[in-house]
Structure 1
Amino acid sequence: MSSSLIEETVIEDKEIIYKSPIVFTPLLDEVTIDFIKIKDIVSEAIKLSKVEKSNISTGAVIITGETARKENASEVSKNLSEYLGDFIVATAGPKLESLLAGYGSGACDISKKLNRRIINLDIGGGTTNVSIFNCGECEQTFALDIGGRLIKFDYEGKVSYISKRIEFLIEDMNINIKSGKKVELKELEIICKKLAKSLLEVCCLKQLCEDTRRLFISEEFEPFKVDYISFSGGVGEYIGETYENIQAKDILKHDDIGHLLGACISKEFENYKEMLVSPKEKIRATVIGAGNHSLTISGSTIAFDKCILPLKNIPIIKLFDKEEKLNEIYLLGKKKLGMYEDTTVAISLIGPKSPSYEETKVIANEIIKLFEETNGPIIVVLENDFAKALGQVISLSLNKKREVICIDKISTRNGDYIDIGLPMGNSIPVVIKTLIYNC
Structure 2
Amino acid sequence: MLARLRLQRLADALSSRYVVVEREVIHRSPILLTPFKSDGLIEVDSLERFVALAYDAAGLRPDQVDTGAVILTGAALERANARAIDELFAAQGGRFVCATAGHRLEAILAAHGSGAVARSRERGTTVLNIDVGGGTTKLALCVAGVVEEASAIAVGARNVPLPVPEMADAIVAAANGRGTSRDLLPPLPHTPRPDEIVLSGGVSEHFYGRDRTAHGDRGLALARALEERRARLPAEIVEGREGIRATVVGASQFTVQLSGSTIFVSTADALPVRNVPVVRAEVATLATAATSIEGTGPIALAIPWRGAPRHAALRALGEAILTAAGPHRPLIVALEADIAHTLGRILVDELGAAGPLVVVDGLDLRDLDYVDIGGIVRPAGVVPVVIKSLVFAGG
TM range, smaller chain: 0.7 to 0.9
Q: 1:29-428 to 2 correspondence within 5 Å?
A: 29=38, 31-150=40-159, 162=161, 166=162, 191-204=163-176, 207-208=178-179, 212=180, 214-224=181-191, 225-240=193-208, 253-270=214-231, 275-288=236-249, 289=252, 291=256, 296-298=261-263, 310-314=270-274, 343-346=275-278, 360-362=283-285, 364=286, 367-368=289-290, 371=293, 376-380=298-302, 384=306, 385=309, 388-396=315-323, 401-403=327-329, 404-408=331-335, 409=338, 410-412=361-363, 417-419=372-374
C-alpha change, 1:129 and 1:99, in structure 2 (3 Å) is: same
SS at match of 1:125: coil
Gap change, CA 1:383 and 1:109, over 3 Å in 2 = farther
1:150–1:419 Cα change, 3 Å = closer
- Residues 271, 361 of structure 1: CA spacing in aligned structure 2 closer, same or farther, 3 A cutoff? closer
2:35 to 8, 26, 31: 26
Deviation at 1:396, TM superposition (A): 3.5
Deviation at 1:115, TM superposition (A): 1.4
* Whole-Å separation in 1 of the counterparts to 2:296 and 2:101: 16
Q: TM-score, normalised by structure 1?
A: 0.66
* 2:383 counterpart SS class: strand
Mapped partners of 1:89, 1:197: distance in 2: 35
Shift of 1:347: 5.6
Provide the C-alpha distance between the structure 2 equivalents of 1:145 and 1:84, rounded to a whole number of angstroms: 31
Contact 1:108 1:133 in 2 (8 A): yes
Contact 2:194-2:235 at 8 Å conserved across structures:
no
Structure 1's 62 and 232: CA in aligned 2 closer, same or farther, altered over 3 A?
Answer: same
Q: In structure 1, what is the Cα distance between the partners aligned to 2:235 and 2:190?
A: 21
How big is the shift at 1:22? 0.7
Counterpart amino acid of residue 196 in structure 2: Y
Q: Which amino acid aligns with 2:299?
A: P
Q: Distance in 2 between matches of 1:17 and 1:233?
A: 22
Q: Give the letter for the 1:69 counterpart.
A: E
Gapped regions of structure 1 (runs ≥ 5) = 152-161, 167-190, 315-342, 350-358, 422-428
- CA 1:312/1:30 → structure 2, altered by over 3 Å: closer, same or farther? same
- 1:68-105 deviations in Å (ceiling 9; x for gaps): 22111111011112223211111111111111111111
Task: Specify the structure having the higher radius of gyration (Cα).
Answer: 1
Note the alpha carbon deviations across 1:357-413, whole angstroms, 9 max, x for none: xx6314x25643664699632432656456653453354367x74345435421125
RMSD of equivalent CA atoms: 3.5
Call closer, same or farther: CA 1:295–1:117 in 2, change over 3 Å. closer
Report the CA distance between 1:417 and its aligned residue.
4.8
- 1:198 aligned counterpart, secondary structure: helix
- Distance in structure 2 (CA, Å) of the matches to 1:102 and 1:373: 36
SS in 1 for 2:316: helix
Q: Is the contact between residue 95 and residue 375 of structure 2 (CA under 8 Å) also seen in structure 1?
A: no
Whether contact under 8 Å (2:259, 2:363) holds in the other structure is no
Paired with 1:396 and 1:412, the residues of 2 have a C-alpha distance of 22
TM-score (normalised: structure 2):
0.72
Q: Distance in 2 between matches of 1:222 and 1:273?
A: 12
- Name the aligned partner's letter for residue 194 of structure 2: V
SS, match of residue 11 in structure 1: strand
Q: Matched residues in 1 for 2:276 and 2:88: separation?
A: 18
Alpha-carbon distance in structure 1 between the residues aligned to 2:320 and 2:164: 56
Equivalent residues of 1:120, 1:232 under 8 A apart: yes
Distance 1:41 1:377, change over 3 A: same
The residue type equivalent to 2:373 in the other structure is I
User: Conserved in 2, the CA contact under 8 Å of 1:391 and 1:406?
Assistant: no
Query: After the TM superposition, which residues 423-438 of structure 1 pair with which residues of structure 2 at under 5 Å, given as runs?
Result: 431-433=383-385
Displacement after TM superposition at 1:346 (Å): 3.9
Between Structure 1 and Structure 2, how many residues are aligned? 331
Find the aligned partners of 1:19 and 1:137 in 2 and give their Cα distance: 27
